Amino acid sequence: MGLLLAGVVALNVAVLRLNLQYDHLARERDQLRAEKAELSSNLAVRAASPRTSSLARTQLGYVSADPATTTYLDLGNR
């Protein structure tokens, strides 16, 4: 009878440890999901075309290419 009781106690301890580990991993997963959402939002804001174009013009002095003077090279037949 004592051996059976010791086995039940050991099993309960093992289950408790697994539950603690599961809770820790669930919290870490939630934190990583929140960080990913924040990073995705930041990336979307920074990659917005009008903002990028504005920064290129104001900070770097870039201008849009004139379509009438733009030429293309075909490098497909090499």
Tell me how many domains the chain contains.
1
- Which sign, positive or negative, has the C-alpha torsion 9, 12, 17, 20? negative
Average pLDDT taken over every residue of the chain: 89
State how far the Cα of 38 lies from the Cα of 45, in Å rounded to an integer.
11
- Is 1 a member of any domain? no
- Is 69 a member of any domain? no
- Is 31 a member of any domain? yes
78: confidence class by pLDDT, cuts 50, 70, 90: low
pLDDT digits (tens, 9 = 90+) for 6-32: 889 999 999 999 999 999 999 999 999
Greatest Cα pair distance, the chain, in angstroms, is: 93
Q: Give helix then strand counts, H and E, for the chain.
A: 2, 0
For 24-47, b where at least 16 C-beta lie within 10 A, e where not — what string?
A: eeeeeeeeeeeeeeeeeeeeeeee
**Which domain, by its residues, includes 23?**
17-47
Give the pTM: 0.54
pLDDT at 37: 92
pLDDT digits (tens, 9 = 90+) for 34-72: 999 999 988 887 777 888 888 889 999 998 888 888 888
